[in-house]
């Protein structure tokens, strides 16, 4: 049995088949750790980001991993003995806190935007693209208020500002974790998100595909 104390790294994931560990952290790089004898040896992977790397997950085949960061970037990095490279996509999201593969070429990430988003990786061209937001906004409760209810609501808040920010997403605060519930990372059927609002949501992949126009999970 071997043990290893890793430097402070917000993101860490283990690949069970290859027995490799990937970590990422505030130094804006990732490290792939390989067990040689009874010692874990790191290999540096330069991510080319300008904020801390916050989360990392291996793909189902364990030949690449995805990294989410505070710089609104998501990176997919191939790791092979003779070659390692990254594909640097700039997203429109706020900083990411969690990421996971749901198929070999599709991954879900989330963070301070309070909703999960899909990214699709094209392995032939080593390119990453934004696949869509995975949270259909609900109608604001404000729209359904009667005049009396609206007046009472304003009176309680002692304000006439009707433009107060109201999150229409399922989560009302940052999402901190994504967990696979059914199907595994190679072919996920359901996944769960938990947030800093104390809430938990379960997402059905097929339901998402059918409910959202142009959404494609490959």
CB 205 within 8 A of CB 218: no
| Gap between the Cα atoms of 65 and 57, Å rounded | 5
Mean pLDDT of 135-143: 53
Q: Predicted confidence band at 142 (pLDDT cuts at 50, 70, 90)?
A: very low
**41-84, pLDDT tens digit by residue?**
998 888 888 888 889 999 999 988 999 888 777 888 876 655 55
For the chain, what is the mean pLDDT?
Answer: 79
Q: CATH 2.130.10.10 region(s) of the chain? A: 11-135+173-211
Among 111, 133, 129, 113, CA closest to 121? 129
Beta bridge partners of 23: 12, 31
**163-177, pLDDT tens digit by residue?**
455 677 889 899 999
Mean pLDDT of 2-27: 80
* Three-point CA angle 6, 196, 198, nearest 5°: 120
Model pLDDT, residue 35: 92
- Token duo for residue 213: 């126009």
Q: Specify the CATH superfamily of domain 11-135+173-211.
A: YVTN repeat-like/Quinoprotein amine dehydrogenase (2.130.10.10)
Please tell me which residue, 152 or 99, carries the higher pLDDT value.
Answer: 99
Checking if the pLDDT of 178 tops 90, the result is yes
Among 129, 135, 96, CA closest to 218? 129
């Amino acid at each position: 049995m071997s043990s290893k104390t890793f430097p402070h790294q917000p993101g860490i994931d283990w690949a069970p088949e290859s027995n490799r560990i990937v970590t990422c952290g505030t130094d804006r790089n990732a490290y792939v750790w390989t067990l040689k004898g009874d010692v874990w040896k790191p290999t540096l992977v330069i991510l080319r980001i300008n904020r801390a790397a916050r989360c990392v997950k291996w793909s189902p085949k364990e030949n690449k991993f995805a990294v989410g960061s505070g710089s609104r970037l998501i990176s997919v990095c191939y790791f092979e003995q003779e070659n390692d490279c990254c594909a640097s996509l700039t997203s429109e999201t706020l900083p990411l806190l969690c990421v996971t593969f749901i198929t070999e070429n599709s991954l879900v990430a989330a963070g301070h935007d309070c909703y999960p988003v899909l990214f699709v990786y094209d392995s032939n061209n080593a390119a990453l693209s934004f696949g869509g937001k995975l949270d259909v906004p609900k109608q604001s409760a404000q729209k359904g208020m009667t005049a009396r209810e609206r007046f009472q609501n304003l009176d309680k808040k002692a304000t006439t500002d009707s433009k107060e920010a109201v999150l229409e997403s399922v989560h009302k605060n940052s999402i901190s974790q994504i967990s696979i519930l059914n199907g595994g990372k190679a072919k996920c059927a359901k996944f769960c998100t938990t947030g800093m609002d104390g809430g938990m949501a379960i997402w059905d992949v097929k339901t998402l595909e059918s409910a959202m126009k142009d959404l494609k999970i490959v």
